[in-house]
Structure 1
Amino acid sequence: MGLNTYFDRKHLEAHYATTEDYRQRSDSWETLAKNSISQWYAEQLKDLTFTEVLDAGAGLGRFSDAVARSKDVNITAIDISPEMVQATRQRVETLPGNHRFIQSAIEEAPFEPEAFDLILANLVLHHVPDIKVAFEKLATLVQPGGHVALLTADFDWMSELNRLQDHALLTLGFPFDGPALTAPGTNSFCEANIMRFVPASLMLVKKPWFDGTMVFPDVDAVLNFYTRTLRYKNIAQQIGDDSLKQAARELIEKYCLQDGELKVSSSVYQYVFKKL
């Protein structure tokens, strides 16, 4: 089970069929980092003019909520997961504005061209089967002069957890060159290669960086976060027992003794493009 699981719609729908795992991780990005990422995100957009906002891959609605609280807007939120759509609805529908909540993939988004003056697409395009097709779809939906704002991971996002899992898998006898040790799916669309996918109709206007480094209070907190990740769950499901979790715990304890702290890098860039 390799990178294809990051793009397979049925697999993703199953992974996000309940919101609890993602909610736990998402809350950690807010509470364990130095600053709130959602507030920072909305602050970066304050100088733009927009009313009609599409949140593509809305997840729990964290960024829709932040944007809707910062300006008078109408939010349209889409996600392939009905549970995520409902979570966004619960978070946003009582805020001022005319808001819509629709289950849809980005490529199938049921809107007329140029229907929005701001599109959000945060940490989602590494999940789509064809990044260029999905990115081009977003470009067609934004008005000339409007903007597309997206968060994308730094290269080797959460590298400490990636290294932890690879180390644990090697101790369990997995081959070093096998599919279980595949690079994280976020590398398919990250700071290192994003510009290869940008549609010709979009021009980059800014690229602020957010230090999302999380500082965990104890070993259990790290383990709780790690075992809710897609990368862990893909392999643990194949193994069929808790051996990967136990191996990871032993390594986390070892790292903590060596380094004296429990940090996981989670830095992202906010790319803001203008439609020509």
Structure 2
Amino acid sequence: MDMSVYFNKDHLVKHSYATTEDFRVRSEAWESLAQQSISRWYADQLRDLAFTEVLDAGCGLGRFSHALAASRPVNVTAIDIAEPMVEAAREQVGTTPGRHRFLRTSIEDAPFADESFDLVLANLVLFHVPDIGGAFDRLAALTRPGGHVALLTPDFDWMSELNRFQDHALLKLGFAHDHPALTAPGTNRFCDANILRHAPASLELVRKPWFDGTMTFDSVDRVLDFYTHTMRYRNVALQLGNDSLRDAAREVIEAHRARTGELKVSSSLYLYVFRKQ
């Protein structure tokens, strides 16, 4: 079973991060099930910075650049490797004032001159790229001196409850404990535990506020719906070719609720803000 698809660009493009609808379901849950809206919180954390030209690298649906553009005058350039994501960002950000651009391109191949942007966003994206250091260097190069790079970064073992549910379900299905499908989540490639190892020397960390994105679900069906729209589930289920993982996960989640009396999924994040020297 091939587990490299988490950071295989061809796979990500083909499936639009396991379909744009999957991404939308996850995004809406993060917005509505946590204690506060993550996109409004995000824009508020950057309110004191001076910027006009903004690059949203790996823009996804464009919710973070949209939050910025809705709060102040900016010109957004949104890029993503998946055309459906670019179009989704266009629909979202394009409703706000400003000279906005939307392009399908990777971070590494972005067709912009160095020092083109006051603020560069790369939220929940660098764990997807094969060469993290190279992509981070490119983001820094695109930032003007005195400008900033903002990266929403997952905590270690992000959404750990879902990871445990899936690993438990796979064991119930007969997978060996050391099977590749039970490896650590792909988000650990670039998370709070190791981000500074990859940071370019030209960037100085100036802040890292923490966001408690714990989601509280009201039913097993709601948890299961969120879980089955995650990439970790999709990558395994796609290769299994049936609903066995979903069915086994339901049993695990139901047992968890019966034992604990709650259905919560932790989703803590840090917003790393770097200044370009």
Mark yes or no: TM-score above 0.5: yes
In structure 2, what is the Cα distance between the partners aligned to 1:80 and 1:144? 27
Q: Which residue in the other structure is 1:7 paired with? A: 7
Query: 1:20-65, CA deviations, whole angstroms, 9 ceiling, x for partnerless residues?
Result: 1110110000000000000000000000000000000000010011
Q: Give SS of 1:122's match.
A: coil
Q: Which residue in the other structure is 1:178 paired with? A: 179
Structure 1 contact 3–184 (Cα < 8 Å) conserved = no
* 1:94-243 pair list within 5 angstroms: 94-243=95-244
The yes-or-no answer on 1:86 pairing with 2:87 is yes
In structure 2, what is the Cα distance between the partners aligned to 1:228 and 1:77? 24
Q: Which residue in the other structure is 2:271 paired with? A: 270
1:248 partner amino acid: A
Q: Structure 1: where are the runs of 5+ without partners?
A: none
In structure 2, what is the Cα distance between the partners aligned to 1:179 and 1:19? 26
In structure 2, what is the Cα distance between the partners aligned to 1:147 and 1:124? 17
Q: Give SS of 1:119's match.
A: strand
In structure 2, what is the Cα distance between the partners aligned to 1:129 and 1:61? 22
Q: Give SS of 2:134's match.
A: helix
In structure 2, what is the Cα distance between the partners aligned to 1:203 and 1:3? 34
In structure 2, what is the Cα distance between the partners aligned to 1:179 and 1:234? 12
TM-score, L = length of structure 1: 0.98
Which runs of at least 4 in structure 1 moved beyond 4 Å after TM superposition? none
Structure 2 contact 127–190 (Cα < 8 Å) conserved = yes
Structure 2 contact 34–215 (Cα < 8 Å) conserved = yes
Structure 2 contact 153–192 (Cα < 8 Å) conserved = yes
In structure 2, what is the Cα distance between the partners aligned to 1:245 and 1:4? 21
Q: 1:3 to 1:134 in 2, by over 3 A?
A: farther
In structure 1, what is the Cα distance between the partners aligned to 2:218 and 2:264? 9
In structure 1, what is the Cα distance between the partners aligned to 2:7 and 2:174? 27
Q: Give SS of 1:107's match.
A: coil
By how many angstroms is 1:15 displaced? 2.3
Q: Which residue in the other structure is 2:44 paired with? A: 43
By how many angstroms is 1:253 displaced? 0.5
TM-score, L = length of structure 2: 0.98
By how many angstroms is 1:94 displaced? 2.4
**RMSD (Å), alpha carbons:** 0.9
1:108 partner amino acid: D
Structure 1 contact 3–185 (Cα < 8 Å) conserved = no
By how many angstroms is 1:3 displaced? 4.6
1:20 partner amino acid: E
1:13 partner amino acid: V
In structure 2, what is the Cα distance between the partners aligned to 1:176 and 1:228? 24
The yes-or-no answer on 1:22 pairing with 2:23 is yes
Number of residue-to-residue matches in the alignment: 276
Q: Give SS of 2:108's match.
A: helix
By how many angstroms is 1:2 displaced? 5.0
Query: 1:173-212, CA deviations, whole angstroms, 9 ceiling, x for partnerless residues?
Result: 1010110101100000000000000000000000000000
1:220 partner amino acid: D
* 1:246-261 pair list within 5 angstroms: 246-261=247-262
